[in-house]
Structure 1
Amino acid sequence: MDIEEIKREVKDREKELIDLTRDLIRFKSVSGEEGEISAYIKDFFEDIGFSVEMIGKNVLASEKKMKKDPVLILNGHIDVVPAEESGWKHPPFEPFLSNGRIYGRGSCDMKGGLASMIFALKILHEEGVEIGDDILFTATVEEETGGINGAGSIVEGLNGKMCVIAEPTDLKICIGHKGSAIYRVTVEGRSAHGSMPHLGKNAIYYASKMIIALEESKFDKEDKFLGKPTINVGKIEGGERVNVVPDRCVFEIDRRIIPGEDREEVFKEILEIVKQENEEVNVEEVISMLPMKISEDEEVVSILKKVTKEVFGEAKDVIGMDGCSDARFFAEKYIPTVLFGPGKDGIAHTRDEFVDVKDLLLASVCFVDLIVSVI
C-alpha cells in the first residue's frame, strides 16, 4: 500500500476508528482494574485471527505465533488515572463526540493512541498484507502507577529490534523522558501547648524552611531534549490540632532526573538540603523510575522521520518528554524505543480530556506506514 492508498482506506473507515476509541474509553480501567478492557482487546485480536498470549492482564498479539525477537514492538498502556465526575461536562467514562473531538478519561492518555495502533493492524490484516511474526502488539497495565506488573513484566525475554509506544506526543517523535524519584521526608519536632510554642519545636515550621530551600535549588546540568531537572513538593501532612505545637510533619518530593544524573547523588543532594534546616529528619526513597533517551541516529527514529514526512509533507520534530513512561522498561532491555502518538500536550489527566479525531486518523495512517516500512 502506498501512502495515498493508506490515507484513503483510513478515512473511509473513520467511523470504525471512532467507535473503537469510544469502546476503549467506556472501560473504567483505573490502574489495577484493567480486567475487562484486557479481555476486550484479547477477544478483538482473536476475532480477527491473531495469536494472543496473556501475561497477567497484559495482552500480547501477533498475526502468527509470536516470537520473542520481533522487528517492531507496538505498545500502549490500557490503564487510566481516576476521574471525579464533578466538573466534567460529560461523565468521564461515557465518551462524547463533539466538534471533531472525543471527550473522556483516557482519550488522550492513551486510549486514542491505543485505538490507532489496533486499527492499523486490523486494516493491514484485512487488506491481506502479511504482517507475520515481525510485529508484536502489546497492551499493558498499571503504567500510571509504575508499570512493574505491566511493561515491566512482559519485557523479560523480549529482544525486539525497536519499539514504538503510542503515548500522546502530538505526533512528534519523542526519543526520551525524564526519570522520577519520589522521596518521603519525615521531620521530627517536640509538642507543646499552642499557647506556649516556645516550649516546643514546631515540625511544620522546620518542614516549611526545608521546602523553601528545595524550591530554591539550582540545577547546572541540562539535556538538549529534556531540559533541566525539576523538583516539586506535592504532598504535606502535619499536626493534629490547631492548639498543639506539631511534633511531626511529613512531605513528599518529586525530583525529576535527566540522563547523566546519578540516583545516589540526587538522594545525597536532597538529604544535604533538608538537614541544613534540621538534623532530626528522615528521608526515604519511595519509588524511583529511571530516565531514558536514545540516539537520534537510531533506525526507529529514521523510519518515523520518513513516515511523518510522507504523511505530513515534512518530518515531525524530535522531542523529549518531562513525564515518565513505560519506555524505560524496553530501553533497559536495549530495545531502542520511541514515544509517538495522538494527543495534545497538557490534555492528559485533565477534566474534559479529549483527543482530536483528525489526529486519530493521522496516527493510524502513520502506524500503517510504519508497519509496512519494517515488514
Structure 2
Amino acid sequence: MPPEPPDTDPGRLLAELIAIDSVNPDLVPGGGGEAAIAGFCGAWLAARGFEVHRLEKRPGRPSLVAVARGTGGGRSLILNGHLDTVSLADYDGDPLDPCIRDGRMYGRGAFDMKGGIAAMMVAAARATAHGPLRGDVILACVADEEHASSGTEEVLESFTADAAVVTEPSHLEVTLAHKGFAWFDVEIEGRAAHGSRPELGIDAIAKAGHFLVALEELAQRLAQGPAHPLLGTGTVHASVIRGGEEPSTYPAHCRITLERRTVPGESADSVERELTAVLDRLAATVPDFHYRLARGLHREPFAADPEALIVRTLARHAEQTLGHPPAVRAEAFWTDCALLDRAGIPCLLFGVDGAGAHAATEYVDLASLDRVTDILTATIADFCS
C-alpha cells in the first residue's frame, strides 16, 4: 500500500501542532492561548473543503468548528478535542520542538491532546476526500478544556449532532465513563486575639482540625460504600488550607479548599448536602465551631450507554483494525464528554497511546496515532453514511 501523501499524514500534522504554543493562559499568565493554533487548524481544514467557524466569546480564546456538510438524510457526528495545553516551564527539553525517538513523538501536548486533534482532523479529511457523506461531519477544536471548558460550552450553544467522539488519549481503549468533580471552600470562623489572651481568642486553625479529621472519615466511608462498576467510588480530599496572620495572634479565619470526585448518581447538590451534614454535626458537638460553606467549580460525571450506535460503530471498527475487541474502560479524570452528554449527544472517548500528560516528558506512540486515525476514518464514513 503506498504511503499517505504528506497532507494526510497524522504524524506530520502532529509535529506542526506541537510546534505552536497553545498554553492555557488561565493556568499560566501570559500563556500562548488558542489563537495561533486555531488559525492554523482553520487554514488546514479550509484548504480541504471544510466550512470553518471561529467562535470567540472570550477575546483571544477562540474555538474552531469545521463542518463538512452532508448531502442529507445521514447521521451527523462531532469529533471533539482541545487545543490548549498546560505549562511549558517544567518540560524536560524544548517543549515546542517535536522529536521522534523509538517510534514516539515527544513534545508538550503530544499526548494531551494534540495527537487526538491530528488524528481527528486527518480522519475527517480522508473520510470526506471523495465527496460529501450523507450526514454532517463536525470537528470541534476547542479552547480551555484544561481549566474550565468554556470552549465546548460555547460550541454547544450553536452546534449539535447525533453523536460525538472525544479524542482524548485512551490508549486505544474505548472509554465509556469518567468521574466528575466539585470544589468547595469551607471557612472556619474563629476570633482574633493576642496570643497572651486565650480567654478572648478562638483558634480557627485548631477548629479546622476537627473538620479535617471528619473529612478523612468521610473519605473512608466513601471508599467502603457502593461502587460504580467501571469507576469505583467517589473520593474527597483537602487541597489547600490557608489561615493565620502571625505567631502572636489567634487566627480568626481558616479556609480549606477541598475536591470531591463524583461518580454517576452523585452531583454538586448531593455533595453539598453531604458536607453540610458533616459540618452541622461538628457545630453541634465542638464548642465555638462556626463555618461557612461555598460551592466552587463543579462538573458532572459521565457514563455512556454501551449499546449506543456510536459506541457499537467505533468498537466494531476498532476490532477490525486492532485484530481484537478493544478494552472497555473508565477514566478517573474529567473530560468534555460530560458536557456533550448533558446536551443530549451520545458520546464516548477514544484516543492514542502514550504517556506524560502534564509531566516533564510527554510523548505519543506513533503507531497508535496511525491506528486511531484509521479507526476514526472508518467510523466517520460508516456512521455518517
What TM-score does the superposition give when structure 2 sets the normalisation length?
Answer: 0.86
**1:15/1:150 CA distance change after superposition, 3 Å:** closer
Partner of 2:298: 288
1:253 aligns with 2:263: no
Pairwise mapping of residues 257-272 of structure 1 onto structure 2 (< 5 A)? 257-272=262-277
Partner of 1:368: 377
**1:209/1:82 CA distance change after superposition, 3 Å:** farther
Pairwise mapping of residues 88-103 of structure 1 onto structure 2 (< 5 A)? 88-103=91-106
CA deviation after TM superposition for structure 1 residue 199, in Å: 4.9
Query: 2:361, 2:277 → 1: CA distance?
Result: 41
CA deviation after TM superposition for structure 1 residue 19, in Å: 2.6
Query: 2:208, 2:111 → 1: CA distance?
Result: 37
Query: 1:45, 1:15 → 2: CA distance?
Result: 11
The one-character-per-residue Cα deviations of 1:50-103 (angstroms, maximum 9, x if unpaired) are 211122212111233899x95211111111122323xx3213233332222222
The one-character-per-residue Cα deviations of 1:178-225 (angstroms, maximum 9, x if unpaired) are 111110111111233446656532222222331232122112232111
**1:96/1:216 CA distance change after superposition, 3 Å:** farther
Query: 2:217, 2:95 → 1: CA distance?
Result: 38
Partner of 1:330: 340
Local SS of the residue matching 1:136: strand
The one-character-per-residue Cα deviations of 1:343-375 (angstroms, maximum 9, x if unpaired) are 446x32122122111221111111112122222
1:350 aligns with 2:350: no
Query: 2:185, 2:242 → 1: CA distance?
Result: 11
CA deviation after TM superposition for structure 1 residue 314, in Å: 1.0
Q: Give the partner amino acid of 2:336.
A: D
Partner of 1:142: 144
CA deviation after TM superposition for structure 1 residue 136, in Å: 1.0
Local SS of the residue matching 2:10: helix
1:187 aligns with 2:188: yes
Local SS of the residue matching 2:105: strand
CA deviation after TM superposition for structure 1 residue 110, in Å: 0.8
Q: Give the root-mean-square deviation of aligned CA atoms.
A: 2.5
Pairwise mapping of residues 56-205 of structure 1 onto structure 2 (< 5 A)? 56=56, 57-64=62-69, 71-85=76-90, 88-126=91-129, 128=130, 130-131=132-133, 133-147=135-149, 149-194=150-195, 199-205=200-206
Query: 1:195, 1:206 → 2: CA distance?
Result: 19
1:298 aligns with 2:300: no
The one-character-per-residue Cα deviations of 1:142-199 (angstroms, maximum 9, x if unpaired) are 111221x311111135341110010111111111211111101111112334466565
**1:214/1:66 CA distance change after superposition, 3 Å:** farther
**1:206/1:104 CA distance change after superposition, 3 Å:** farther
Partner of 2:286: none
Query: 1:65, 1:370 → 2: CA distance?
Result: 15
**Contact 2:8 2:125 (C-alpha < 8 Å) held by counterparts:** no
CA deviation after TM superposition for structure 1 residue 242, in Å: 3.2
Partner of 2:243: 238
Any stretches of 5+ residues in structure 1 without a counterpart? none
The one-character-per-residue Cα deviations of 1:319-350 (angstroms, maximum 9, x if unpaired) are 111111111221112110101001446x3212
| Percent of residue pairs bearing the same amino acid type | 28
Q: Give the partner amino acid of 1:37.
A: I
CA deviation after TM superposition for structure 1 residue 132, in Å: 6.0
Q: Give the partner amino acid of 1:176.
A: A
Query: 1:29, 1:83 → 2: CA distance?
Result: 10
Local SS of the residue matching 1:80: coil
| Matched residue count | 363
Partner of 1:20: 13
1:221 aligns with 2:244: no
**Contact 2:70 2:136 (C-alpha < 8 Å) held by counterparts:** no
The one-character-per-residue Cα deviations of 1:110-165 (angstroms, maximum 9, x if unpaired) are 11111111122233444x25446521111111111221x31111113534111001
**1:15/1:131 CA distance change after superposition, 3 Å:** closer
**1:308/1:65 CA distance change after superposition, 3 Å:** closer
Query: 1:62, 1:132 → 2: CA distance?
Result: 13
**Contact 2:314 2:376 (C-alpha < 8 Å) held by counterparts:** no
**Contact 1:63 1:132 (C-alpha < 8 Å) held by counterparts:** no
Any stretches of 5+ residues in structure 2 without a counterpart? 26-32, 57-61, 284-288
Query: 2:353, 2:212 → 1: CA distance?
Result: 34
Q: Give the partner amino acid of 1:45.
A: L
Query: 1:31, 1:89 → 2: CA distance?
Result: 19
What TM-score does the superposition give when structure 1 sets the normalisation length?
Answer: 0.88
Query: 2:71, 2:330 → 1: CA distance?
Result: 31
**Contact 1:30 1:80 (C-alpha < 8 Å) held by counterparts:** yes
**Contact 1:66 1:136 (C-alpha < 8 Å) held by counterparts:** no
Partner of 1:316: 326
Q: Give the partner amino acid of 1:303.
A: T
**1:97/1:196 CA distance change after superposition, 3 Å:** farther
**1:97/1:207 CA distance change after superposition, 3 Å:** farther
Query: 1:115, 1:208 → 2: CA distance?
Result: 49
